Chain A
Amino acid sequence: MAEAVFVGLPKRFVSLSIDGREVEVLEGSTILDACRRLEVDTPTLCQLDNLTPVNVCRVCVVEVEGARVLVPACSRRVEAGMKVRTDSERVRHSRRLVLELLGSSVDMSLCSAQVRGWMERYGAVPERFGVGAATVAQPVKVDNELYVRDYSRCILCYKCVEACGVDAQNTFAIGVAGRGFDAHISTEFDTPLPDSACVYCGNCIGVCPTGALMFKSEHDMRGAGTWDEGRQSVTETVCPYCGVGCMLELHVQDNSIVKVTSPLDHSVTSGHLCVKGRFGFEFVQRRKG
């Protein structure tokens, strides 16, 4: 007979207050989960539901009564009776400064409208550090036919490293190298991607919040001035290659597939694909000349 297996105690609800409003969430939830339950919009950059929180961007910080410093909502677990403030002067100040420090050093022009909305909400003025403020500007790395790396747009959120590593792909082709302001995402010794361990799954593109990692098709079209999201439609389908059943979202412009994504909340993919699903669409649009 099989031995009894301990499956853990059933989870309990924990109640806490956020901005004076009581909320109950399952124990083990994060403050961010609780904020979302109350529909308190919380800015996040390095957090993504399909990745382990690394809490490095610090834009989601909140004030917890009794804590000496602010805490990251994305990774701090709730405790019973916790009193959280998400809109105090201290919180607003740190969120504004994080957005300003990033905005002053990184090209954030391709960030989502949501990010621009947060910059407006917190009154972030990245220009106030002056014209001499150092940036991470550098040439775009175009070393393969599938995707480009424009690290002048990189906010160092670690998401691509996580997706390339244990959170999804387990390929470990990239890591964080250097330190301080010079810290950057890199292959070993900055080797071009074709010589690295990269398998072109493109899961790093899928999680990048700033457009630093981009389909080459999108990069080329942007360069030519033909990229127009207003003219794009999204068609959902299932990847035809193998039997796993990954859901694909084909982004189509002018009757051509220009990029492929998968929804983060899809039960099969959690947003992640392989090289075939992500990039293997060329044959569809190979038209007889």
Chain B
Amino acid sequence: MDIRTTGGPATDVEMAAVDGLLGDPEPVDHRVAYGGRAVRSLRHLLLPVLHAIQDRTGWVSRGALEYACRRLSIPPAEAYGVVSFYARFAHEPRDAKVVHVCDDIVCSLAGANAVEGAIRVPCLGLCDRAPASLVERFGADYQAVQMPETPPHVVAGVQLLRRVGVVDPESIESYRAHGGFAGLQRAREIGREAVIAMVSEAKLLGRGGAAFPTGRKWESVAKAQAQPHYLVCNADESEPGTFKDRVLMENDPFAVVEAMAIAAFATGCERGYIYVRDEYPLARRRIGKAISQSRELLGVELEVRRGAGAYICGEETALFNSIEGKRGEPRNKPPFPVEVGLFGKPTLVNNVETLLNVLDIVNGDFGDTRIFCVSGRVSRPGVYEVPMGTPLRSLLEIAGAGDIQAVLLGGAAGSFLTADQIDVALSFEGTRAIGATLGSGAVIVFDETADMKEVLLRIARFFRDESCGQCVPCRVGTKRQEEILERMFTERDGDRSADVMLLSDIAQAMRDASICGLGQTAANAIASGLTQLKVLNG
């Protein structure tokens, strides 16, 4: 490929940032062609390279991008497509310090809209400390700090959360002292088949939102003919109102790493990736430390990959594309990841919470619990682990909810419940019976003072911002949904029934014809909000 670059040279600092990751370039010898398969196979390093450039300089200049393109043999047009896809990458020079302020559902309730002069971003996963922000300082000693820094969050649970606040998250000795790595050893003693059988027998359902039987996934990957197999831990927790995976990774990172090693062992994965969203610098650091401290024990090469500000990358196939250094566009299924996944190979994808359950299953102390992230108008926001089937009412009582106007269950892709529906049992079946979903475990509480029109508009804006733009129903549908909702809420007159009908037409097409779960659920919360909440009466 003949890479044509016209953006001018990269600065020494930019080149050093790229070379720091890729190693020094080979000396130029014009008699030898550079590129080919060996270089193209490094394509998956594009996002790490872009991060290295931006961490150092605060933005991705054209010269820097083109230097990265030459080193990785990527056409500049394609790399531009990637860099412009992810919200976190900047194309203009910026100050050395940048503040990202969350203006999503929960932080808006807490008054985040009042903050001026900062970049507004969707949910930062710090809803228990709302209003939240993320401060980045670019330079040789890049720093990213989640604010507020001191976590006043509540962590209540005795099973999956039992080590949170008890173990030292940066010390392998501390983790060992609390029974760490016994599960991995046990798994090796009983063998692959037995581990998979235990997971299947426990009837564990995936905690990422889709509730797929974990055992079936593991069996399929273990049996897949093609080699190698890959493991991916999905830690791109971006559903507004969700922060449980962050709490787990920040406070119990060794358990996540051990669980990944067990999964890789059972399904024959040669390499594993944990894709952590960019907004979780602390979790990323701690997981990275845990991996390096326990490397010899794991029996599998694990690597942390850093997202770049894209909700869609929580969709498993979009996540593969992102790891591969491409735009985070979901793939059409079938083929499913268990057959054709990361780098086109059989891939096991599990959410953080799902993997932690596996650890308990192997250790023989599995309790079918579920972690909920309670935020919004409650006096004790935080993560609460309760037995599957606990009534929502009890959860709200423990978290200190007062008068309730509505509860958003499952985040932006979930649905609204009204005060008379909070006796619902928090289980897959219980929520399904009333047309709701547990989704990612987000529970956002609104009291009578909350402006639900604003909340619905924020959700519509969220999906318009986060749609990858690949398929028509979602790309244009989320835009139209936002426009129509705005029109309905601002114009005093006009025929609202026609607009309600339009929204429902769009919703059906998005649900039926979108490529992935984002488009398929982008109308859920809004549809349930319009029917359940009193937003159209004046």
A interface list, Cβ under 8 A from B: 55-59, 61, 69-70, 72, 75-76, 90, 93-94, 97-98, 101-102, 104-105, 128-130, 132-134, 155-156, 170, 172-183, 186-189, 191, 195-197
Contact = CB atoms under 8 A, between A and B. Distances in A.
Given A58-B513, A58-B514, A97-B505, A187 B469 contact: no
Contacts of B332: 55, 72, 75-76
Interface stretch (B46-54, B189-197, B264-272, B478-486): B478-486
Contacts of A174: 77
Interface centre among A75, A76, A189 (most CB of B within 10 A): A189
A234 B476 CA distance: 38
B512 A70 contact: yes
Given A181-B479, A189-B62, A98 B472 contact: yes
Contacts of A191: 6
Contacts of A55: 332, 471, 515
A57 to B, nearest CB: 5
Given A97-B473, A181-B475, A189 B80 contact: yes
B76 interface: yes
Given A179-B310, A197-B75, 15 more contacts: A58-B472, A94-B509, A97-B473, A101-B509, A132-B483, A133-B480, A178-B84, A179-B468, A180-B465, A181-B469, A186-B84, A187-B80, A188-B66, A189-B62, A197-B77
Contacts of B467: 179-181
B466 interface: yes
A62 to B, nearest CB: 10
B478 A197 contact: no
13 contacts: A69-B520, A70-B512, A94-B512, A97-B477, A101-B476, A156-B469, A179-B468, A183-B468, A183-B469, A183-B475, A187-B77, A195-B6, A196-B77
A190 to B, nearest CB: 8
B464 interface: yes
Interface string B52-78: 000000000010011000000001111
A175 B329 CA distance: 13
Contacts of A134: 479, 483
Contacts, number: 162
Interface centre among B332, B487, B511 (most CB of A within 10 A): B332
Contacts of B469: 156, 176, 178-183
A175 B78 contact: yes
Contacts of B154: none
Given A75-B332, A93-B505, A93-B512, A101 B477 contact: yes
Contact of B487 (A75, A94, A130): A130
B432 interface: no
Contacts of B66: 188
A181 B479 CA distance: 7
Contacts of A196: 4, 6, 77
A100 to B, nearest CB: 9
B470 interface: yes
B476 A181 contact: yes
B291 interface: no
Given A93-B512, A132-B487, A197-B2, A175 B473 contact: no
B81 A175 contact: yes
Query: Shortest 8 CB-CB distances between A and B: which pairs?
Result: A183-B469, A172-B75, A97-B509, A175-B81, A188-B76, A101-B476, A94-B513, A188-B80
A173 B62 CA distance: 16
Interface centre among A97, A172, A178 (most CB of B within 10 A): A97
A104 B476 contact: yes
Contact of A175 (B80, B472, B479): B80
B7 interface: yes
B483 A186 contact: no
Nearest to A98: B472
Given A56-B515, A101-B477, A177-B81, A129 B472 contact: no
Given A177-B81, A197-B76, A102 B513 contact: no
Contact of B512 (A90, A186, A187, A197): A90
A12 to B, nearest CB: 19
